[in-house]
Amino acid sequence: MSNPRLRPFTGLRVADFAWVIAGPLATQYLAVHGAEVIRIESRGRPDVLRAGEPFIGGEPGPNTTAYFANVNLGKRGVTLNLRDPRAADLAKRLVATCDIVTENFTPGTMAKLGLGYEALRAVRPDMIMISMGLAGQTGPERHHKGFGTVIQGSAGVTHLTGWPDRPPVGTGVAYTDFVASHMAAFALLSALEHRRRTGEGQYIDLSQQEASMYVLDAALLDYATNGHVQSRQGNRHPHAAPHGAFPCAGDDAWVAIAVYNDGQWQRLVTALGRPAWATGARFATLLGRKEHEDELEQLISAWTRFRSPAEVARVLRAVDVPCAPVADMRDVHADSQLMHRGHFLHIGHPVQGDFPYDALSYRVDGATPVPPRPAPLLGQDNQAIWQWLCGLSAEEYQQLDAEGVFR
Amino acid sequence: MTANVATAAPLDRLRVLDLSGYFGALSTRLLAGVGADVIRIEPPGGHQSRRTAPFYHGVPHPERSLYWFQHNAGKRSITLNPATADGRALFLRLAETAAIVVESQEVGALDRAGAGFAALAARNPALVMVSISLYGQDGPRAADPGSDLIGMAAGGLMYLCGDRDRPPVRVTAEQANAQAGLHGAVAALIGLNIARSEGAAVHMDVSVQQTIVTAVANNRMLWPAKGAITHRTGGGRAGGPGRRLIYAAADGFIGFYRRPENWRDIQRWLDRAGIKLDFRVDAWQGKPAFGEGAPPEAQEAQLEAALERYFVSRPSAALHTEGQDFGLYVTQASSAKDLVESAQLAARDFWAAVPHPELGETLRYPGAPFRMSATPWLSGPRPPRIGEHNHAIYAGELGLSLADMRLLAAVGAI
């Protein structure tokens, strides 16, 4: 199961102060590929995800949440009460052993704790640190905070999601977490490359808003150069028709169909049985299909409505027309392709057992990267990290523990 | 924290061959941003995305696509058809000079042309090849046609997105393409580390469907956990009624995400706005906004109505500032105009001026997606013209004569 081949970061250590999704998902890449990533949490202010559904293997609690476990695969975990006056010194002892430090608290928090970049660089000069504020570490909005659920608004994604005649809807998930996390991983990997070449560490200021503005296609250039404000278009696409989700037999069942060119259109018409409406001049050209798109969508819907999404997909895929069921969460789990890819990782968890977590999105030479261990239980590695790695004596460790420093 | 421009970018002199389509164009844009020498390999006549709207001043032209501009700044361009024998030979020679190849051709197309991973690895045993496709390079669906819409549907995100009384929707800016780009960029640099530690070429095979599944994780896990299927809820979080996020402002919309720690600050906001209710919401501190243990429904409904009346009377930018100043998770649902005019982005000097001499204008591009204190982000130069670097690469590096280049152009190889 384990494949040491895919662990090039063995020997690299990360002090991972970042929480929720955007930070943890970034360092999870390093953990899966061999780095020793140490989550630093506190019992007084546990990671928000420690309270997130679903809870597996027991009552709701920090160790039963699969939400947390799914984005912290392969990591180790310690607890440290950062409000304790002795905590900063302990955190520095840990950072002195680390190559990377991450955090996404409200800007200024780390400095207030005595753990700003300059303070940490003093104990580990070649260290790479990333801060991931909502709007970055500078500027009039540097104190702003939020979650991916609303950062998708300030990054411009929400405005572009929904129907032209309705309010925007956003994506329904904490979407920018899945953008900012990847930008952060990419930035850290780039900084590691610079350090490999020069020996020099550095500080990275990532604004989740700015990073997430990279998923707007040309919307920003379109306004900056043409003065044109793009808006949400439902499922319509400027160069394609039909292009959207069509109703199917079943409860809230839909199929996505996308026709980009005349060849796909002709094959779709054939798959429909060449009905009279489809073979005439009205829809023969893209311009015609765009001009009569409302009517086109109704006619396609009349055909899909009495078929299951799977049946429509089978028929259209057979003639090479882009098509897929609009998968709900049950469909995702039953998806033969995802199973073939080994997307659902069953690596075992001491509390959650054999629950399916997400694999990374890629295979390496045909192999799915498997994390070296499941996500950490809250504070599970306290003794190993504080005593054996940071050099506290058994007496010191027990004393501090008894005084609540490791809460 | 501005980078010292004299310092080389992190990936300076690292060569990337870019055979991406719509999946992966962002991967190589990011690699160029951190200094890689990205060579766009275009079919003779130009890449398909040069014909993608919108266009500079609305005029369709392969050298004026803003979509192309956004995803190709900082790259060089050569024309080459790897399906011809001469094109393939040149591509294999170029692959010897590269550290990374990023491709999102039809699955199997490069193999059939004799330019797939095995052929490239034989020529360059340190190469990283990143292949990005909708479903991955093998498996029951691998050969099926894909696109942004199909990726959003097959990965489960589309089902969570939209109004309950309408079909599921995608995002009008293409997010399956974007996720493909982000995951592909990370995979490229992970691959570089694997290839280096292993001393062998490595093939990173990215599934766009899996990139989308990653983004729906908390909803997805509710199925194996308790057999629950979450549905779209319009302007809310997927997963239940009442989890509202979007509110109308006087001139647009805001997002407002409420958590149990927020009631006290909501009360402060109500007080400041002069909104009087016959109960106090700071008494609810610690209670979840929805579900078990939530405040009385009738009172929450009153609060909701009062907020609606207040929000719709105020500009969205003002609500964003007020809400954040009270420590609440409030943001404007910003349009491109709001972002281009944002005081925060201006204060951070986010925008990058990229000269386009052929257009006689300097365009304003999105700047660095992250700021590195020791190394620069490269916003330019402007995206390449079709085959702009043919001479530099084919004559300058590979030693082709001008006569050879003319001949290869005539047969459609370059």
At B135-188, the pLDDT tens digits run 999 999 999 999 999 999 999 999 999 999 999 999 999 999 999 999 999 999
Which residue is closest to A226 within chain B, CA to CA? B57
Chain B residues touching residue A332 (CB < 8 angstroms):
155-156, 213, 216, 220, 223
Residues B205, A363: C-beta atoms closer than 8 Å: yes
Is the Cβ–Cβ distance between B24 and B102 less than 8 Å? yes
Asked whether the beta carbons of residue A162 and residue B58 sit closer than 8 angstroms, the reply is no
CB A20 within 8 A of CB A106: no
Quick one: B274 and B367 in the same domain? no
In a domain, B1, yes or no: no
| Whether B221 and A183 lie within 8 Å, measured CB to CB | no
Which of B154, B185, B235 is facing A170, going by the closest CB pair? Answer: B235
Contact residues for A401 (Cβ-Cβ < 8 A; gap 6+): A382
Give the C-alpha separation, A327 to B157, whole Å.
8
User: Chain B within 8 Å of A45 (Cβ-Cβ)?
Assistant: no
Determine which helix (DSSP H) or strand (DSSP E) holds A297, and give its type and residue range: helix A293-304
Q: What is the ipTM of this complex?
A: 0.98
Same structural domain for residues B319 and B381?
no
SS3 call for B221: coil
Residues B376, B5: contact at Cβ < 8 Å?
A: yes
A4-215+341-402 CATH fold: Rossmann fold (3.40.50)
CB within 8 Å of B243: residues ≥ 6 apart: B233, B236, B237, B289, B290
Name the maximum alpha-carbon separation found in chain A.
Answer: 87
Q: Is B214 on the interface with A (CB under 8 A)?
A: yes
Instruction: Take residue A71 and report the two structure tokens written for it.
Output: 């984005």
Active site (annotated) includes residue A177? yes
Q: Residue B135 contacts by C-beta under 8 Å, 6 or more apart in sequence?
A: A337, A341, B141, B142, B144, B146, B154, B207, B208, B209
Listing DSSP states for B309-321 in one string gives: HHHTTS-HHHHHH
pLDDT tens figures, B229-263? 999 988 766 554 446 899 999 999 999 998 889 99
pLDDT digits (tens, 9 = 90+) for B101-117: 999 999 999 999 999 99
Say whether both B59 and B176 belong to one domain: yes
Residue B3: predicted pLDDT: 47
Q: Domain of residue B185: give its range.
A: 15-215+349-410
- Looking at the structure, tell me whether residues B264 and B371 fall in a common domain: no
Average pLDDT along chain B: 94
Q: Token pair 């160069």 is at which residue?
A: A239
Q: Which two tokens stand for residue A7?
A: 């662990």
In a domain, B66, yes or no: yes
Q: How confident is the model at residue B414 (pLDDT cuts 50, 70, 90)?
A: confident
Q: Do B44 and B158 share a domain, yes or no?
A: yes
3-state secondary structure of B405: helix
- For residue B362, give the chain A residue with the closest CA: A225
**The total number of structural domains that make up chain B:** 2
Averages of pLDDT over runs of 10 residues in chain A (407 residues) are 77 97 97 98 92 94 97 98 96 98 96 97 98 98 94 97 94 95 98 98 98 98 98 96 98 97 97 95 95 98 98 97 98 98 97 98 97 97 96 97 96
Write out residues 340-399 of A within 8 Å (CB-CB) of B: 340-341, 343, 355-356, 358-366
Q: Which two tokens stand for residue B252?
A: 């647009």
Q: Is residue B207 part of a domain?
A: yes
On whether both B210 and B358 belong to a single domain, the answer is yes
Does B129 lie in the same domain as B42? Answer: yes
Of B224, B238, B370, the CB nearest to A355: B224
Give CA–CA dist A98/A93, Å, rounded: 9
Residue from A154, A239, A293 to probe the interface with B (highest B Cβ count within 10 Å): A154
> What is the DSSP annotation of B121-136?
HHH-TT-EEEEEESS-
Q: Which range is least confidently modeled, B102-111, B122-131, B201-210, B294-303?
A: B294-303
pLDDT number for residue B292: 79
Q: What residue segments make up the domains of chain A, in order of their start?
A: 4-215+341-402, 243-328
Superfamily of domain A243-328: formyl-coa transferase, domain 3 (3.30.1540.10)
Catalytic residue among A177, A262, A328, A365: A177
**Beta B76-79 vs B202-207: how paired, if at all?**
unpaired
Burial of A272 (0-12, 13-18, 19+ CB in 10 A): middle
Q: What is the CATH number of the domain that holds B392?
A: 3.40.50.10540
Contact criterion met (CB below 8 Å) for A149 and B257: yes
| Interchain CB distance below 8 Å, B333 and A252 | no
Kindly report, residue by residue over B331-375, the tens digit of the pLDDT: 999 999 999 999 999 999 999 999 999 999 999 999 999 999 999
Query: Are B145 and B66 found together in one domain?
Result: yes
Angle at B289 between CA B286 and CA B292, to 5 degrees: 85
B108 belongs to a structural domain: yes
Do the Cβ atoms of B344 and A141 come closer than 8 Å?
yes
Nearest to A175 by CA among B200, B182, B382: B182
Beta-carbon contacts of residue A353 (< 8 Å; ≥ 6 apart)? A56, A57
Q: pTM of the prediction? A: 0.97
| Same domain flag for B60 and B156 | yes
Of B332, B366, B399, the residue that ends a domain is B332
- Looking at the fold, whether B356 and B392 belong to one and the same domain comes out as yes
Name every residue whose Cβ is closer than 8 Å to that of residue B406 and which is 6 or more positions away in sequence: none
CA-based nearest distance B264→chain A, Å = 17
* Same domain assignment for residues B162 and B257: no
